[in-house]
Amino acid sequence: MVDVRKIRGGEGLDDINDELDEILDSVVENTRQATEAFFAAYDENPDPKILAAWLQPRAWREIDYVFLLNEQIRRYGLAFERRHITLLAKQSFQEAEHYEMVGRAIESLGGEVPVSAPPQAKPWSDFLWDCLERHPLAAIAAWNCSETSASGSFEPTFKAGERHGFDEVVRIYKQIENDEKFHVGLGRQVLAAYAKTDRDREEILRAMRGMRDIAWKTFTPESVAQARQA
Amino acid sequence: MTTFDSCSLEQASKLLDLVITRLDRVAENVLSIELAAPNGEPLPSWQAGAHIDVLLPGGIVRQYSLCGDPDRTDHWRIGVLRDPCSRGGSIYVHEELKIGGGLTVAGPRNNFGLVDSTRYLFIAGGIGITPIIPMIRAVAGQRKPWTLLYGGRSRRSMAFLDDIALISGGETHIVPQDEFGLLDLDRFLGRYDPATAVYCCGPSPLLNAVEKKCQTWQAGALHLERFAPSEKVATRETGSFEVELARSGRHIVVPPYRSLLDILEENGCQVTNSCRAGICGTCLVRVLSGVPEHNDDVLSRADQEAGEVMLVCVSRAKSDRLVLDL
Ligand SMILES: Cc1cc2nc3c(=O)[nH]c(=O)nc-3n(C[C@H](O)[C@H](O)[C@H](O)COP(=O)(O)OP(=O)(O)OC[C@H]3O[C@@H](n4cnc5c(N)ncnc54)[C@H](O)[C@@H]3O)c2cc1C
Ligand code: FES
Ligand SMILES: [Fe+2]
Ligand SMILES: [Fe+2]
């Protein structure tokens, strides 16, 4: 009934919609598999510290989005309609709330909330900031791919939450899931509204393809194990 | 990227109650309408390419390009084509407007402004001629070279031919399809000339064909305006309506300029939400009776038309009363 990827509000992506959806489907699926693999490993050894470590790059993403969104608005926002500036700022506020909520969950699991980019989140963060330099729509495209990928992580997280009773994490992710629908729809609308030229579309595809290869990686059990060894 | 004129956006949010001073049938199915302020005061200024929003009964809002003379602040002129598939906008304009009657409008707003250029090529299809006429006048006034390519189904259906004939200094190609076939885009767009700004307005197939011809051109060389049926603009937050909450039997009233979601929350109804802007789809509520007025960007057209659900953060009511599954 509601598919935020089919948001109305612009025609700039009409020629590349199919390709974008292919990229997004594949990154959602990779994230789902990575999350399932993580919780399969977690079932064997349900140590809250491991769950906290898994949430750390997630918390970093939330606060990095705040920085990215504000920089996006500062640099390129005045070429957008006012409504889109307001909505991007609203997204930024919600990402700050997510940082706060995920941070609280990490603390309740006995972990530490990151205040600089954890090594596992570094490739993701670097890629987004490069995109922001490259083209006014590239960072939005990259985070749209990353935020869409998160939708693959919700179901396995909720199921594992039932098995292990981490209700607070589930409650937080239910709210984040709602907000993510907004962020994904908004990103797609902004891209469609302001992409005008083939170069715009190429940069959007380039950013999405790049993010496709990065976004799911921090959800894997291997990434968590590496981080805990470091 | 597009830059937006914040000044004109501000002007666009002001409503003006105008009087219809003249109606002329200027071609088959095309009505020219002149509007003035009731007290004869000067109207807000505008520039070639601008349009106004016309507010019609039933919450219908339609855009019409100003096609008169920007120097005349005593009246505005618009030209409206009767759309055979109209949901009510152009039909109402054609059948109900009378000289001396009132019309509420907002604007002017301009997403199709003239850029400075050495030469201009204007391509108009059908009613798409409306924003082009003031553009040609402006360019002719600056004594710059211009070419107009104007196509239509037949000469009888092509509006404002007399006005065009009076503008001097350019090259005009009037191309009724029943006499000469389609516009020869290859001839006029075959070669990219950075010194020529191209402006095109008309039906989608023409715009798509022009866009395709120019796809390798430098960004910004081609300027298009689509007369797409209004989607978003219809969200004038006017008019109150009544809502019955089926589960409790309570009745609440949503006043103008307040969102249904706000009023539900004020009345202790929790509805999941995130964007409060018609984007995320999370505030979906079932409609048990009444006709919603959908203002969101995300429900499918089929769901909107079925009217069985609505997004309460932005949507309102076409009927006086809605019954919601809350
Ligand atoms: C900037 C701008 C300037 C314009 N200037 C002019 C002008 O100068 N002169 C002029 O005549 N028109 C102009 N238009 C078009 C005008 O605003 C109206 O769209 C037009 O008059 C048709 O309105 P309607 O209510 O009669 O028809 P609508 O009911 O809006 O129907 C129009 C077409 O859309 C189809 N349609 C019906 N329902 C939907 C739906 N839910 N979603 C999508 N499509 C649907 C119909 O089949 C029909 O073909 C302009 C539009 C814009 C955006
Ligand atoms: S709250 Fe997002 S569509 Fe209503
Ligand atoms: Fe978030
Ligand atoms: Fe987000």
Report the residue of chain B nearest A198, measured CA to CA.
B215
Q: Which residues in chain B have their CB less than 8 angstroms from residue A79's CB?
A: 1-4
What architecture (CATH level 2) is domain A13-229? Answer: Up-down Bundle (1.20)
> How far does residue A115's CA lie from ligand 2's centre (Å)?
32
CATH number of the structural domain spanning residue B42: 2.40.30.10
B131 in the same domain as B105: no
What are the residues facing B317 on neighbouring strands? B292
Asked if the Cβ–Cβ distance from B300 to A182 is below 8 Å, we say no
- Torsion angles phi and psi, residue A5, rounded to 5: -70, -15
Per-residue pLDDT band at B227 (split at 50, 70, 90): confident
**Does the structure show a pLDDT above 90 at B110?**
no
How far away is chain B from the Cα of A119, in angstroms, using its nearest Cα? 31
| For helices A138-164 and A122-134, angle between their N-to-C axes, nearest 10 degrees | 150
Asked if the Cβ–Cβ distance from A182 to B303 is below 8 Å, we say no
Q: In ligand 1, which atom is closest to the CA atom of B304?
A: 41
**Does the structure show a pLDDT above 90 at B226?**
no
* Strand pairing category for B15-27 and B30-36: antiparallel
In a domain, residue B315? The reply is yes
Please tell me what DSSP assigns to residue B113.
P
B84 in the same domain as B143: no
DSSP string over B255-280: -TTS-HHHHHHHTT-----S-SSSSS
Specify the residue with its C-alpha closest to ligand 1, atom 48. Answer: B85
In a domain, residue B3? The reply is no
Flag whether the ipTM exceeds 0.95. no
Q: Which residues in chain A have their CB less than 8 angstroms from residue B230's CB?
A: none
Express each pLDDT in B192-212 by its tens digit. Answer: 999 999 999 998 889 989 998
Could you tell me if A154 lies within 8 Å of chain B, comparing CB atoms? no
Express each pLDDT in A59-98 by its tens digit. Answer: 999 999 999 999 999 999 988 999 999 999 999 999 999 9
Report the residue of chain A nearest B280, measured CA to CA.
A182
Report the residue of chain A nearest B224, measured CA to CA.
A196
B239 in the same domain as B164: no
B239 in the same domain as B190: no
User: Is the pLDDT higher at A48 or at B217?
Assistant: A48
pLDDT computed for residue B10 by the predictor: 37
B221 in the same domain as B123: yes
End-to-end CA distance of chain A: 45
Chain mean pLDDT for chain B = 89
Kindly report which listed range (A16-20, A188-192, A217-221, B46-50) carries the lowest average pLDDT score: A217-221
B274 in the same domain as B199: no
Q: Which A residues in the span 29-48 are in contact with B, Cβ-Cβ below 8 Å?
A: none
List the one residue out of B120, B217, B236 whose CA is nearest residue B171.
Answer: B120
CB B274 within 8 A of CB B280: yes
Q: How far apart are CA A146 and CA A62, in angstroms?
A: 11
B88 in the same domain as B141: no
Q: Which value, in Å, is the radius of gyration of the alpha carbons in chain A?
A: 17
**Does the structure show a pLDDT above 60 at B257?**
yes
Q: Which of the listed residues B48, B80, B109 is the one where a domain comes to its end? A: B109
When scoring A2, A97, A140, A194 by the number of chain B Cβ atoms within 10 A, the one with the most, hence best to mutate, is A2
pLDDT computed for residue A229 by the predictor: 81
Per-residue pLDDT band at B237 (split at 50, 70, 90): low
Helix then strand then coil, in percent of chain B rounded to 5, is 25, 35, 45
CA distances (Å), origin A174, targets A57, A142, A157: 18, 23, 10
pLDDT computed for residue A224 by the predictor: 86
- Torsion angles phi and psi, residue B7, rounded to 5: -65, -45
- Kindly compute the dihedral angle of the four CA atoms of residues B234, B235, B237, B239, in this order, to the nearest 10 degrees: 40
CB B164 within 8 A of CB B85: no
Per-residue pLDDT band at B4 (split at 50, 70, 90): very low
CA distances (Å), origin B308, targets A187, B8, B261: 27, 37, 17
> How far does residue A104's CA lie from ligand 4's centre (Å)?
17
Written as six digits, the tokens of B174 are 């009037």
**Structural domains in chain B (count):** 3
Q: What is the pTM of this model?
A: 0.57
pLDDT computed for residue B59 by the predictor: 66
CB A30 within 8 A of CB A152: yes
CA of A143, nearest ligand number: 4
Express each pLDDT in B152-163 by its tens digit. Answer: 999 999 999 999
Q: How far apart are CA B200 and CA B223, in angstroms?
A: 6
Q: Which residues in chain B have their CB less than 8 angstroms from residue A9's CB?
A: 231-232, 297
Asked if the Cβ–Cβ distance from A189 to B297 is below 8 Å, we say yes
B82 in the same domain as B14: yes
Sheet holding B146-152, edge to edge: B171-176, B146-152, B119-125, B196-202, B222-226
Asked if the Cβ–Cβ distance from A2 to B281 is below 8 Å, we say yes
For residues B1-13, give the mean pLDDT: 36
CATH number of the structural domain spanning residue B145: 3.40.50.80
User: Which parts of B154-252 fold into alpha helices (H)?
Assistant: 161-165, 177-180, 185-189, 204-213
pLDDT computed for residue B218 by the predictor: 82
Write out the E strands in chain B.
15-27, 30-36, 51-56, 60-65, 76-81, 102-109, 119-125, 146-152, 171-176, 196-202, 222-226, 241-245, 250-254, 284-289, 292-293, 309-311, 316-317, 321-324
Q: Which of the listed residues B91, B109, B127 is the one where a domain comes to its end? A: B109
- Residue B288 structural domain: 235-324
pLDDT computed for residue B258 by the predictor: 87
CB B74 within 8 A of CB B61: no
In a domain, residue B1? The reply is no
Chain mean pLDDT for chain A = 94
Per-residue pLDDT band at B233 (split at 50, 70, 90): very low
